[in-house]
Structure 1
Amino acid sequence: MCGRYTLLASEEEIAQAFGIQQSIDSYQISYNIAPGQNVLAVIHDGKEKRAGYLRWGLVPSWAEDEKIGYKMINARSETAHEKASFKKLVARKRCLIVADSFYEWRKTDKKKQPKRIHLTDRKLFAFAGLWDKWQQNDKVLFTCTILTKAANDFMQDIHHRMPIILPKDKEDAWIFPEEKKPRDMHNFLQNVEAEELSAYDVASYVNAAKNNDETCIAPLI
């Protein structure tokens, strides 16, 4: 799964990495991004790529209650193209969720040890995501979920699931504003090759979502 991550890059670095032409409203770095918070995402509107904020935790357009979002922070890529909650989104509402590391908790006999995990060879990356618009009366929400897959060899020792990190040359294809067959996008994701990851232990300070400073990423000595 993916339940916490970081984004510490500057707005300029993000714009350059993802080809964003306009400024990003209210951009702030975060050492501890958690479900329910607004997260930076990139979509393609048919003319250009745009970066903006979506709330993490998908609320499908048909949902009666927005609280469903807390149960839908992740979507399994193996079945998303078949599920009513995600099928239409896989076809036409795909996004990039910008990050530079994520946290996972490795179970031991006595505790869960938090680890910070990042790409070995590049700083910024994007999770494969899905988004939707929900409206009830005068309230409108734009929300998202992160797609996951079975852990690769590196991650298996930490957790049995992992977020899908798109290779740089696959990002534009994922958000290209053309409706696709859900099965085709399923195949696209299953053929994505994982890049090399690195990880190190961090303090349990990161466990509390309210904690959001450099201590979250400090290596545990």
Structure 2
Amino acid sequence: MCGRLALTTPPDAVRDFFSYRDQPNFPPRYNIAPTQPIATVRYEHGARRFHLVRWGLIPSWVKDPASFTLLINARSETAAEKPSFRNAMRHGRCLIPASGFYEWRRTGDSKQPFWIKPADGDIMAFAGLWETWSDPDGGDMDTGAILTIGSNRMMSGIHHRMPVILKPEQFDTWLDTANVDKKEAGTLFKPVEDDFLVATPVSNRVNKVVNDDPDIQVPVVPDDAGENSHEAETRKPKPDTSQLDLF
């Protein structure tokens, strides 16, 4: 799954990677949590556009979001058929920019957080879904979720699920909801190569949403070192460089 992510890449670099027309300016965010805004890229009127959505998809048919499960992730294997996601799979596919994400390895009663990022570069794209929910008073809210898949070899030492990561050459296929149906779009759902990501153990400061600073990505000696036979591959990450109060 994916329950925390970061977007610390400078706005111009994000725009260059995704080739959207907008020029948003946003601060680095090191600890983005569910219900907070996340960046998305959609295809609209012949071009890629940047949008913010609330992290936690609410299908349009939901009457009371307060009584509805918070859908921050969608299983890629079943999203096309599940009532909560099938409309978004058909009409609301998007890309979610991320500099990296956090995942927790469970060992007995303890959980060790890891900062996971591309081995090369500091930006990647998650396959995402979005949908607009309208409240009874007529207000609209765009909401979204990250698609997940079974982990590759590297991630399997930390967690059994990981985000679906798309490469630039796959962006057009995924975003083209007018000409690419959900079945064809689903052929893109594959775990990324084993050497695409690197994982670094970090402190439990990331567990608290209020901690949103570079220090939460500082490498530490894992609390469960030596207790897990499937140690994640780790490498010290390269330093991150860094219209609204985006996040």
Q: Normalising TM by the smaller chain, what interval?
A: over 0.9
d(CA) in 1 for partners of 2:30 and 2:69? 20
Partner amino acid, structure 1, of 2:59: P
CA RMSD across the alignment: 1.7
String of CA shifts for 1:98-132, please: whole Å, max 9, x gaps: 10110000112341000000111232111100000
d(CA) in 1 for partners of 2:67 and 2:152? 29
Q: Is contact 1:45-1:177 (8 Å) kept?
A: no
State the 1:27 CA deviation: 1.9
CA distance 1:15–1:189, shift in 2 (3 Å): same
d(CA) in 1 for partners of 2:113 and 2:123? 21
| Map of 1:90 onto structure 2 | 89
d(CA) in 1 for partners of 2:210 and 2:64? 25
Q: Is contact 1:91-1:179 (8 Å) kept?
A: no
Identity %: 37
> How high is the TM-score relative to the length of structure 2?
0.84
| Map of 1:32 onto structure 2 | 31
- Farther off after superposition, 82-91 or 142-151: 82-91
Partner amino acid, structure 2, of 1:187: T
Q: Is contact 1:92-1:179 (8 Å) kept?
A: no
| Map of 1:57 onto structure 2 | 56
Q: Is contact 2:62-2:68 (8 Å) kept?
A: no
Q: Is contact 1:91-1:185 (8 Å) kept?
A: no
- Farther off after superposition, 168-177 or 153-162: 168-177
Partner amino acid, structure 1, of 2:90: A
Q: How does 1:174-213 map to 2 (within 5 A)?
A: 174-190=174-190, 193-194=192-193, 196-213=196-213
State the 1:69 CA deviation: 6.4
| Map of 1:215 onto structure 2 | 215
Structure 1 residue runs without a partner (length 5+): none
Q: Is contact 2:75-2:149 (8 Å) kept?
A: yes
- Farther off after superposition, 141-150 or 163-172: 163-172
Higher share of residues assigned helix: 1
Q: How does 1:1-221 map to 2 (within 5 A)?
A: 1-24=1-24, 27-67=26-66, 71-136=70-135, 137-190=137-190, 193-194=192-193, 196-221=196-221
State the 1:70 CA deviation: 5.2
d(CA) in 1 for partners of 2:62 and 2:179? 22
Partner amino acid, structure 1, of 2:150: A
Number of equivalences = 219
Structure 2 residue runs without a partner (length 5+): 222-247
